[in-house]
Structures are given as C-alpha cells and as structure tokens.
A and B are shown apart, each in its own frame.
Chain A
C-alpha cells in the first residue's frame, strides 16, 4: 500500500469506526436476535435458535394489519405525491413573476416540525363533542354528513394519513424537480419550438425523459420513506396505534420493543428483517426498471 492510500484510510478511520459501532454492529445484532427463540431481555438468555420468531410475526394479526396499512400508504402516496410534485414543479417553472416566493412557500413544510404539522392536521380533521372540525365543516357545506377522521372508520383514518404523508413529502420532491427542470438546457425547448412542437408533446417527449433520472430517484426514496413511516402516524393517531388499527411496520417493531406489550427484541428484529426484505426487493425492482427505461446522455 502506498502512502497516498494509507493517508486516505487514515482519514476514513473516524467515519468507519462510527458506522461500525452505530450501523454495522446493530444490523448484525438484529439478524442474530431474530433467530434467537424465547429471548428473555431481563436475563439475556434464550432457549434455542430457529425461525419461530418469523412465523410468529407473520401470523400476528397486528403485524398483518401493519403490513396492510404500510402497503396502502406506499401504493397511494408515492405515485400521488410524485405526480403532484411534478405538476407543481412544472407550474412553478413556467411562472415568471414571484417564482422565488412561491418556491419558498412550497418549501415551508419541509422545515416545519412533523409533530406540529400532525397536530395541525388533527385539529383540521378531528371531530369532538364541541366542534366538527374544519374539514367536516367544508363537507357540510357541500351537503355531506360529518365523519370522524381521527377516531372513526378505517378508510377515513387512512385518508387523513395519506393526505398528511403526501403533504409532508411534497416540498422535497418539488425542490428536486424544480431544480431538475431548471437544469434542462433551454436550447432543447428552442429547437422544439422552431419545429412547431406542441407544448404537450414537448413535455411528454422532451421534458419528461430529460428529468426521468430524478423522477426515478424520487420514486425509490419515496418507496423507502413510506415503508418506514412511523412518526407521522403517531403525530396524528397517538402512540396506541394497534388499538387505532393504524399501525405501520416500523410502529410494530417499536411496539414490540418498548410498547405496552413490549420487551420482545426477537420479534421486533424479525419484523424489521421482513421490512428490510420488502424494501430491498422493491428497490432492486425499481433499479432494474430504471436501467431499462432511463437514458442518461
């Protein structure tokens, strides 16, 4: 090894040590835990090794519910937020006046605390003995009957959850897409204009392919982010998510560790590994699709 690369490794030592202690080792530990059956966290002993933890988790109705919730959240919010962000970004880039002001406004949710946003959402949607809440008043205005979005039927709660998630992830996506749109060489648009291309065709044939790497990036990170949803759910529905029927996979993992029925690191680890497997699969599929369809110049 020459002195140059020695130096390189030397500089990397702090980062490697940090990652090793806080990322690699816990990861390794999770795998070990997940195969230890009947682990007792007080005595730190276990009966034997095997796949029982996985079969328990996969048969647990709470886990099945969490899995279902997470999937619904992912399937609805990822396409919806990405599509909406694209729409908003295209709109923003075509505005000439006050463009920066609008961009700032759209970015505000990004710097706002999740719990504060959740609280606001709860107030907007909640129905109490004293008030119907803002959203219900609007529903009344259009002649509908009020719904309890926070403690009511499942689909109502899921609606709030989806709207909330879309709203929270929007600013980041808008930011990424507006800068992607701004980085497209204007000569492409001029050339298309000289050839009399309609604006829809310009968007579909030129803009979209040009920014497709960024769209794919957003879809992949969107999937990963939505699968890891937890804090947002707590912000709206409180910590007893199993009772609310709104738990997510990460929520289930957390409950298994620290919740009322907690103290089961083995079950938690098994559930975490299931989540890991799902995210890995979806990311690999995404990357395969991307490699086939995205062209970079």
Chain B
C-alpha cells in the first residue's frame, strides 16, 4: 500500500499551560512512501517522528493536510478502518494475558461479518507467531520472556490482522546493543517476507541506515532530506543531515573559498572549482582524511588509536567546530606518534561544503566519484563558458 502524506501539519496545545498557545510538532510534511518498502523516520528526540507515525496510524488527526493510503483518503478514518498494525516503544503487551492471548486480542475485536471462530483466531495467531519465530512461547506471560522476544510478540500482534501498513515506533530502543543488531535484521526479514509497507521510527542513524530502503531525516518537525541511506550519507543536502548521519560523526571546520580553492585557516587544502567565493562550513567524513607527510592540511596530533581493523587519528585544529576530530585512516598509514603535528590530504568525495549561514549544500567540481568522461565533459563546458549546472556556481 502506497502512503502519501500531503502537506501534513500538526499543532498541539502547549503542554506547559503557563506559556499556552500552540506547538507545531510537524510542519508541511510532504512524503510518498512507496508500496512494499521499509522507510525510516530519523531525527533527534522531539523532532516529530512519533507524531508523524501516529497520524499515519490514525491515533492523531493532522491539523492540516491529507493522508492517502493508495487511492483512499484516510485522513479522518479511525485506525482499525485504515488497516494498520503498530508496535510501540514499550511494546504495550498486556501483562495479564499470555503471549497467545496478546496476539489474539486484535482478532477478538472483530465484529459482524468479520467475526472469526475461536479455532480460526488461534490458527491465525499461531501463524503470526511462527512468522516471528516465537511459536514455543505462546503459553507464557510477557514478563516470562526476554526483551527481544517481547518485541517479536508485539510484532506478531501487529501483524495478526494482516494489515496493509506496519508502523514501528522506536522498536529497538529498549533492547541491549547486541539484541538490537539481531532484532533489526529480524524486522528486515519479516518485512521482506511479508512485503508489507513499513514505517520505522528511530533516533539512531545507524539503525535507520542499516535496514531501510529509504530514510527521511527530520529536524524540528520539518523534513530535511529523503533518500536511499547511502545516497543521503554521501550527498547530504545540508549541514544538519551531514552531522546527523555517520559514526564517528563528520568533522566540521570553518573555512572559506577563494577562486576555486578551499582554505581552512591559512592553509589551502583542496581544489573546489566552481564553488562561490566566501565563508563556508566544511564537513569532512572521518574516512576523508589521508595521512600524507606532504599533505596540505596540518592538524595537532592528539593520539593514534588502533581498534580492530580501524586506525583512527585523533587530532585538533583551530578551525574545528568540536574540540577534537577523528580521522579513520588505512592501517598501513605511517603516523609519527612522537610528532606534535600530523598532515593530511582531503578526499574530495568525502568533503562537503555548506553555506556558512544557511547550512545549505554548496557543490564543487570533483566532489563526486564521477566517471572521468563526465568530468571531462563538465570541464570542457566550464572552459567554454557555458551555463554552469551547479547551484550557485557563478563565481
């Protein structure tokens, strides 16, 4: 089932009665969720992810805008009519019922023509349980199964009515780190097996990146970028997105562009042809640094850490936004640990420029791993003084 959110806005009365007025939780949210895909809503706490999910579910009415399931306008329909299944962060398993009773609960609500016989209910509940591989736990109480298993029970309960849409609100945040890894693969497997359109809310970028077909990065109730995880990671539209994705995070510097050259501090660190002159914010992914004794970029060396297959160089720089930066370099890189400085070369495809004021992306030639032919064509166009394709590239 394709889901379309059309200019959705949600305003709540302020929880703090002394301040009063309205709080905008989600603003002008425009999104199409393709049929059969797993989409993650990603953003920091309080950015409106749950609110968006609750509106898709039907637990909250949007203040403005429309929601479509396929060709049906479901904006004013109640959840059970929409045909959605939902998994809550707390799982919300009824503690006084067994696992089987929990899974059967949605079926027992069916009335009239949809009413099922007891045997049919048990059969469907058992089917849902086998899908999430908890068939041997059916007689237990939720408190008698592990956190990961509770999670599966909650998913089985959400799936038992064979909904068209599965919604999960931070489904992994109550699990420990190891279980989180296996459970997210499990969610991916179930989603693939059922082919059900799934919306997944998380504040953990790694979680979102690892299992979703598409991620929607949100900030303060607004969509900042939508796309395939790798694409959003490589080509962030703005500084917020680039900082939100990636562990360790992107390293952010103040810099400026002068005649196609990027300067950080006084050093000329990279060719950034076609980027306009002026101050910029520079983001360099940890893997964007290459240790090079003749490199143009000098940083203060703090430590060299070898962890497993990674070698990271912890360093400082005056133009750095954070206190320290972290570069992940190849394990055969030679770093003189007794020196006070380390010199780097920057990989253009891992270096991103943003407008110093607005945080919007600034493009430059050579920032993508393009086919050589493409680069040659573009350089030929530039040499010929043809209209330049990059935004704001009129220097």
Closest to A209 in B: B96
B109 touches A195 (CB 8 A): yes
For window 270-297 of A, CB contacts with B under 8 Å fall at 295-297
B32: A residues at CB distance < 8 A = none
B90 in the interface (beta carbon within 8 A)? yes
A5 in the interface (beta carbon within 8 A)? no
A206 in the interface (beta carbon within 8 A)? yes
B363 in the interface (beta carbon within 8 A)? no
B79: A residues at CB distance < 8 A = 193-196
The answer for the CA separation of A209 and B59 in the assembled complex, in Å, is: 23
Closest to A197 in B: B109
User: Which residue from B81, B88, B142, B161 sits with its C-beta under 8 Å from A187?
Assistant: B88
A206: B residues at CB distance < 8 A = 94
Mark B104-119 against chain A: 1 for CB-CB distance below 8 A, else 0.
Answer: 0110011000000000
User: Which residue from A191, A210, A295, A296 sits with its C-beta under 8 Å from B88?
Assistant: A191
A140 in the interface (beta carbon within 8 A)? no
B255 in the interface (beta carbon within 8 A)? no
Contacts known (A190-B59, A297-B142, A297-B143); A195 close to B96, Cβ less than 8 A:
no
B90: A residues at CB distance < 8 A = 185, 187
A187 touches B92 (CB 8 A): yes
A188: B residues at CB distance < 8 A = 92, 94
Closest to A296 in B: B95
A297: B residues at CB distance < 8 A = 95-96, 142-143
B95 touches A196 (CB 8 A): no
Contacts known (A194-B80, A194-B86, A195-B80); A185 close to B109, Cβ less than 8 A:
no
The answer for the CA separation of A92 and B106 in the assembled complex, in Å, is: 28
The answer for the CA separation of A176 and B91 in the assembled complex, in Å, is: 26
Chain A interface residue count, Cβ-Cβ cutoff 8 angstroms:
20
A269 to chain B, nearest CB (A): 44
Chain B interface residue count, Cβ-Cβ cutoff 8 angstroms:
28
B142: A residues at CB distance < 8 A = 297
The answer for the CA separation of A17 and B95 in the assembled complex, in Å, is: 43
B92 touches A190 (CB 8 A): yes
User: Which residue from B54, B86, B96, B141 sits with its C-beta under 8 Å from A191?
Assistant: B86
B341 in the interface (beta carbon within 8 A)? no
Closest to A185 in B: B90
Mark A171-214 against chain B: 1 for CB-CB distance below 8 A, else 0.
Answer: 00000000000000101101111111110010001100110000
Q: Which of B54, B96, B105, B109 has the most CB of A within 10 A?
A: B96
A295 touches B92 (CB 8 A): no
A201: B residues at CB distance < 8 A = 109
A194 touches B59 (CB 8 A): yes
Q: Which of A193, A195, A209, A297 has the most CB of B within 10 A?
A: A195
B110: A residues at CB distance < 8 A = 196
The answer for the CA separation of A203 and B85 in the assembled complex, in Å, is: 21
B109: A residues at CB distance < 8 A = 195-198, 201
- Chain B interface residues toward A at CB < 8 A: 54, 57-59, 78-81, 84-86, 88-92, 94-96, 105-106, 109-110, 141-143, 157, 161
Q: What are 16 of the A-B contact pairs (CB < 8 Å)?
A: A187-B91, A190-B86, A191-B88, A193-B59, A193-B78, A194-B58, A194-B79, A194-B85, A195-B161, A196-B80, A197-B105, A198-B109, A205-B94, A209-B96, A210-B96, A297-B142
